[in-house]
Each structure stands twice: as C-alpha cells, then as structure tokens.
C-alpha cells in the first residue's frame, strides 16, 4: 500500500471529508445526476432507508470520477447516517465519532475497527477496484442489516448499473411497445414513443453485450434511461444546475 506523507494525507482526507460529509450531499452534488456521466466512471447503486414519519427510502445510481470519492461518500455521509440510528441519537449528520461514543463498547469495537481500515484506505494514493470491492462488501455486511440502513447492491461500470435487476426490469421491451402501440397511446404522445424506442434499443445492446461506453449514441441512451430512474420526490429537477 502506497501511503502519502502525513501532511498530504491529512490535506486530502480533510478535502474528502468536507466534500462528502454535508448532509445534503446526495442532493446538491452532481454525482447522482446521470446526464453528465462520463465513460469509464465508477458507479454505485446507492440504497438508503430513511426514517420519515411514514417510513421510506430510495435507491439511485451514483457516478464517481474516482474510487476514493465513492468510498468517501460511504465514510463521511452514509456511515454517519447509519451510526446515528444505531446510537438512537436524535441528532443527525455529526462526525461518526460523535455516535460511536454513544454506542456501548461491546458493539462499538467492530465499527471502530472498520472505520480505521476505511480511513487507511482513503489515505492510500493507489486505491484499486479490488480494495474498493473489499470495503464495499464489508460495508454492506455491517450497515445493511438494521434500520436505518444503507446498502450498495451493485457497483462497477455503467453496464453493471444497467444490468442491475431493479434497473434492467424498467427498460421498455418489445411487448410493451406493441401493447402501447395497439392502444394508440403513442399517437398522442410521440415523446413517449421516442423514449420507449430508445430504451428498447438500449435493452438490446445490453442483451447482446454490445453496449459501448465510447459510443456517443449508446451513452446518450444510457444517460436518458438512468435519469428516469431517479425518484423525482427525492431528486427534483430544480436541485441540479
């Protein structure tokens, strides 16, 4: 593991903490804005159960320039959210240490050890997909088994996000197009027809393993489809630039 010197470590660590610990980072950061995703970016499907009065949650694909940014979202935003629930705290979006001190020692140790390992990786100047996968897997083991919870059900490339069952099943298929055509809906809604045809073509690219991130038409179809997956209750258009 290649580690930066102490000063560089803390500067980078503090930068990541400032960027990703904001309670509104999910909403005000373009990481969850599919229309600007780039080829070869690192992707995570981020699922979070929120403690609303009536309960609820959301799941959305996120797109990151680096492994380090993806991990920092989990370290500074997601862990804070889940540990607040574990500590049964009425205060949210504090540093994780604030909640660790409220959790009994017998339960606290496993979280502290994992956080220490997480921090060591964030200070590593060479974070690989393998290291990222190990941390996300362990993160899911620890933080997706209680309420509130955060889980990363799939991560990797754009095609991994597109193939994720919950996303893939939303793609428009041939049967849906034929049924909607027969009903005459497309005549009054040509914009919907255009969208459904594009989704159907994207589905064929996925099914035939011919989707190519370097192909502008393929990426345009992926962006448009992934954009539709956002819950507009959680990600209204006016929160993005």
pLDDT number for residue 130: 95
Q: Which of 25-34, 44-53, 186-195, 215-224 has the lowest mean pLDDT?
A: 25-34
Q: Which helix (H) or strand (E) holds 198?
A: helix 190-207
The domains of the chain are located at: 6-156, 163-233
Encode pLDDT of 123-140 as tens digits.
Answer: 988 899 999 999 999 999
3-state SS assignment for residue 46: strand
For residue 27, pLDDT over 70 is answered with no
Q: What percent of the chain has pLDDT over 90?
A: 59
For residue 236, pLDDT over 50 is answered with no
For residue 50, pLDDT over 50 is answered with yes
pLDDT number for residue 214: 95
For residues 229 and 221, which has the higher predicted lDDT (pLDDT)?
221
Of the candidates 235, 154, 161, 153, the one whose C-alpha atom is nearest the C-alpha of residue 202 is: 161
Taking the CA atoms of 234, 235, 238 and 240 in sequence, report the sign of the dihedral they define.
positive
* Residue in the structure block whose two tokens are 């940014």: 69
Structure tokens at 132: 């990222």
Structure tokens at 167: 């996303």
Encode pLDDT of 63-117 as tens digits.
Answer: 998 999 999 999 998 999 899 989 989 888 889 999 999 999 988 999 999 999 9
> By the 8 A CB rule, do 31 and 64 touch?
yes
In sequence order, which ranges of 29-128 are alpha helices (DSSP H)? 67-72, 79-86, 96-100, 105-122
pLDDT number for residue 160: 97
Structure tokens at 219: 């990426």
Confidence of residue 148 (pLDDT cuts 50, 70, 90): confident
How far apart, in whole angstroms, are the C-alpha atoms of residue 78 and residue 143?
9
Give the phi and the psi of residue 150 in degrees, each rounded to 5: -130, 135
Structure tokens at 22: 């904001």
pLDDT number for residue 238: 43
* Residue in the structure block whose two tokens are 């989704």: 199
56-64/155-156 β-pairing:
unpaired
pLDDT number for residue 5: 64
pLDDT number for residue 100: 95
Report the pLDDT averaged over residues 225-229: 85
Q: Which helix (H) or strand (E) holds 217?
A: helix 216-229
What are residue 150's DSSP bridge partners? 48
pLDDT number for residue 25: 65
Residues in the chain: 241
């Amino acid at each position: 593991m290649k580690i930066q010197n102490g000063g560089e470590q803390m500067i980078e660590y503090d930068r990541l903490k400032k960027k990703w610990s904001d309670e509104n980072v999910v909403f005000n950061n373009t990481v969850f804005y599919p229309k600007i995703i780039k080829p070869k970016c690192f992707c995570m499907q981020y699922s979070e159960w929120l403690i609303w009065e009536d309960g609820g949650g959301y799941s959305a694909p996120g797109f990151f320039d680096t492994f380090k940014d993806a991990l920092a979202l989990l370290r500074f935003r997601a862990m804070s959210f889940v540990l607040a629930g574990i500590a049964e705290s009425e205060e949210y979006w504090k540093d994780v240490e604030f909640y660790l001190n409220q959790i009994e020692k017998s339960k606290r140790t496993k979280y502290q050890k994992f956080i220490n390992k997480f921090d060591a990786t964030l200070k590593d100047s060479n974070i690989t997909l393998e290291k990222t996968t190990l941390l996300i897997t362990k993160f899911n083991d620890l933080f997706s088994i209680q309420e509130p919870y955060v889980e990363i059900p799939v991560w990797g490339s754009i095609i991994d996000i597109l193939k994720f069952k919950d996303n893939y099943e939303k793609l428009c298929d041939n049967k849906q197009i034929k049924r909607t055509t027969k009903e005459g809906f497309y005549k009054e809604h040509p914009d919907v027809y255009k969208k459904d045809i594009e989704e159907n073509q994207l589905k064929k690219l996925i099914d035939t393993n011919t989707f190519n991130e370097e192909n502008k038409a393929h990426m345009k179809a992926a962006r448009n489809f992934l954009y539709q997956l956002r819950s507009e209750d959680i990600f209204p258009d006016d929160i993005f630039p």
